[in-house]
Chain A
Amino acid sequence: MKVLVPVKRVLDPYVKVRVKQDKSGVDLSNAKMAMNPFCEIAVEQAVRLKEQGVASEVVVVSAGPQQSQETLRTGLAMGADRGVLIPTDVALEPLAIAKLLKAVVDKEDPGLVLMGKQAVDGDNNQTGQMLAALLGWAQGTFISKVELQDGAAQVTREIDGGLETLQVKLPAVLTVDLRLCEPRYASLPNIMKAKKKPIDTHSPEDLGVDVTPRLQVSRVEEPPARQAGIKVESVQELVKKLHEEAKVI
């Protein structure tokens, strides 16, 4: 079974986010970028499925600026077999990405799409669900455990009240949560091998997808600076402050 893993290039989560002066968005010039951490988890899981002999091939796909190729290389260094790059300088929205991915799924015909539950740039948490809907496939979201057998996936989902276990028919779209697995460090030999693994390129036009944004960002602002903490003298004072100032109790 072929597994398709979409991966996104985002601002490195270890880097401090700077808002552009004109408040039109986040300043990415010269900023350090990295693979979205949830995508890393999806790649790791896919590679494990391959190592277990469940998956036959792992294909990573990324839509975004040309440099998303580096993100694909990261996935290849972790153990994916080949990459698909969809280069575009348009700021992609979840629906556009879902449509692009659908086009890739139509070409590649994977048995499973494993992807992050969200990307840490927009925190939208939509692409996986939209992709499943466009494909008419089953979906399992926020999964923290997965087992594949007999054409179905047993997945454990992290939900508000606890854990939910579902049986999802394949092919399916599964979106992964933080606790599914710990991504590996790419080994040096695999980093070197990754360079020689193939990456196909398809433009959004090739795939017949119109990626024109449908939303307009009016303003991006930094969250208000955190106030310094204070020490309270007594429990009573704490309760009073929580009640009257913080209004949480």
Chain B
Amino acid sequence: MPSYTAPLRDMRFVYHELIDGDSLQELPAYAEATPDTVDAVLEEAGKLCRDVLQPLNRGGDEEGCTYENGVVRTPAGFKEAYAAFVEGGWPSLAADPDYGGQGLPHLLNTLVEELICSANLSFGTYPGLTHGAYRALHAHASQELKDRYLPKLAEGTWTGTMCLTEPHCGTDLGLVRTKAETNDDGSYAISGTKIYISCGEHDLAENIVHLVLARLPGAPAGTKGISLFVVPKFLPNEDGTPGVRNGVSCGGIEHKMGLNASATCVMNFEGATGWLVGESNKGMRQMFTMMNLARLAVGIQGIGLSEASYQGAVQYAHDRKQGRGLNGPRYPDRKADPIVVHPDVRRMLLTMRAYTEGMRALGAWVAREADIADAHPDADRRQQGDDLVALMTPVVKALFTDLGYDVTNLGVQIHGGSGYVRETGMEQFVRDCRIAQIYEGANGIQGLDLVGRKMPAHTGRSLRRFFHPVANFLAEHQDNKELAPFVQPLSKGFGRLQTVTGWLAQKGLSDPEEAGAAATDYLRLIGLVALGYMWARTAQVALAHTGDDGDGFYAAKLATARFFMQKLLPQTGALVSQIMSGKDALMDVPESAFALSA
């Protein structure tokens, strides 16, 4: 298993130098988020991840969760680690101080989540879903429900789930069948089967709070007839302690490709008592509060795994000695050179680094805007933040997990055969990352969300929230000679994005299939340009530090930025051709042509 060191230097760079996270302090809600606090929190979270969570990652993968008679056990050590996590108050980081939270910015939480995902993705699903449930209840539940559940979720003594998927419905939630019937006391009786429910049952917490999508009697068909309910595993007593067992139980857990220490459960609701969250038939909208946050969080999983894989790859590239530098031996006194001398290994390492650090920067920028959307005193500024987050949520989710998969795969490749062998831990990152491309809306659906909903929203207002800062940056630096190697490629990529956007807006309007055919490529295109924008900004900051660069941090940033501009951003050219060739090559193929031939 590769050793893991929290990338705190880069996180501090991103937070303090690149995206001015420190400006959040000026918002009354985040007055506590002073630079020293931010650093101290990252530091301590990094220690916990390195010393407590990471050592359980491999064992957790091998052992997995076990199921017996409705009881689910997490792998050895998880209970103790979760107890330490709760004891440390980590679930409360970004929770509201009114409910026992520390009220720190979402931005900081995002970075801490990345650390957790690097160290132990499976572990991270338990607090991750808890925070999602917390947010959904915080946004939509009645005061009474909030008072009952939020403090426990913020403490982490109770964990949360989101129960959407059913055997016949995943992407298409309009098909949800689980029903809710009215009880006399204002509560509801929930019946139905949910599948693939992460953390649905486990032994880490004293109670589990399920947020369940279900249909009320007589509700309209489709997504307009879905309501959201809170259904606890144990019904809370008046004093808030867990009381009698509710009618919800775990019917089994899945055996999976990865994420083995996260219990993926079949949940049976048999007249379980639940309470309506917010208005009836508005469940989809409310669940989206949880899902949008969860989508951003899933994107962060992609970064976390990329970072972990990159750390393993770097160590190996220095240690493993095979072959000689193509222009002669670099280490003549040894029998072979370390593989880091080979151009192709460097291609892989730099690809890993350029994507990982670029994603960290982009993810942090989006998270900062989410904080502004939540807490800025000025309504216009809040709206701007909200628009950018809305636009970028599918990008963060799909791009980061697709790239995460590519990056972790390169991590295996750099290890050669030993990457394929379980022991090194490199292949686990690939398997763990794979699910991130599927859950919280498969990545293809993220593309549709981007082109179908986010792009046209408010006549392109969301899109402008991204286009304007990029255009301004380019205009501001067009005569900056030093920055030209970064500004010019970005300008080219951005030009392509603008052209394609115009084309797609036209085409998609008259033929939705055209939009659908372009969606995934378009998401990659805007994602690459967004990463390019972050790398150009990074280069701008780094250039100002060439004089005080004792450890070579800024020089490495410039080198990676250059690599991104020269070797990765040009993919935008191919994407333009792919997109603008239209839907025909896909849609002219008759369905019958997909038959299997013997």
Contacts and interface: CB of A to CB of B under 8 A. Distances in A.
Interface of A: 14, 18, 27, 29-32, 34, 70, 73-74, 77, 185-192, 194-195, 228
Given A29-B551, A192-B102, A187 B39 contact: no
Nearest to A183: B47
B413 interface: no
Interface of B: 5, 8-9, 32, 34, 36-37, 39-41, 43-44, 47-48, 51-52, 84, 87-90, 92-93, 102, 334, 548-551, 553
A18 B553 CA distance: 14
Contacts of A18: 551
A29 B8 CA distance: 16
Contacts of A27: 550-551
Among A188, A189, A228, residue most surrounded by chain B Cβ atoms (within 10 Å): A188
A185 B47 contact: yes
Contacts of A31: 550-551
A195 B34 CA distance: 10
Contacts of B334: 228
Among A14, A187, A189, residue most surrounded by chain B Cβ atoms (within 10 Å): A187
A51 to B, nearest CB: 14
Given A29-B551, A191-B41, A185 B36 contact: no
A187 B83 CA distance: 12
A192 B88 contact: no
Nearest to B47: A185
A175 to B, nearest CB: 24
Contacts of B41: 188, 191
Contact of A188 (B5, B9, B92): B92
Contacts of A70: 36, 39-40
Contact of B92 (A14, A29, A189): A189
A77 to B, nearest CB: 7
Contacts of A190: 89
A141 B326 CA distance: 57
Contacts of B32: 192, 195
A187 B102 CA distance: 11
A114 to B, nearest CB: 22
Contact of A73 (B40, B47, B549): B40
Given A14-B5, A31-B551, A188 B88 contact: yes
A72 B587 CA distance: 66
Nearest to A67: B36
A192 B89 CA distance: 11
Contacts of A187: 87-89
B47 A74 contact: no
Nearest to A70: B36
B23 to A, nearest CB: 19
B551 A191 contact: no
Contacts of A188: 41, 44, 88-90, 92-93, 102
Nearest to B40: A191
B44 A186 contact: yes
A225 to B, nearest CB: 10
Given A27-B550, A186-B40, A187-B88, 10 more contacts: A14-B5, A18-B551, A30-B553, A34-B43, A74-B43, A185-B84, A188-B44, A188-B92, A189-B92, A195-B36
B9 A32 contact: yes
Among B5, B44, B51, residue most surrounded by chain A Cβ atoms (within 10 Å): B44
A185 B40 contact: no
Among A18, A77, A186, A195, residue most surrounded by chain B Cβ atoms (within 10 Å): A186
Contacts of A192: 32, 37, 102
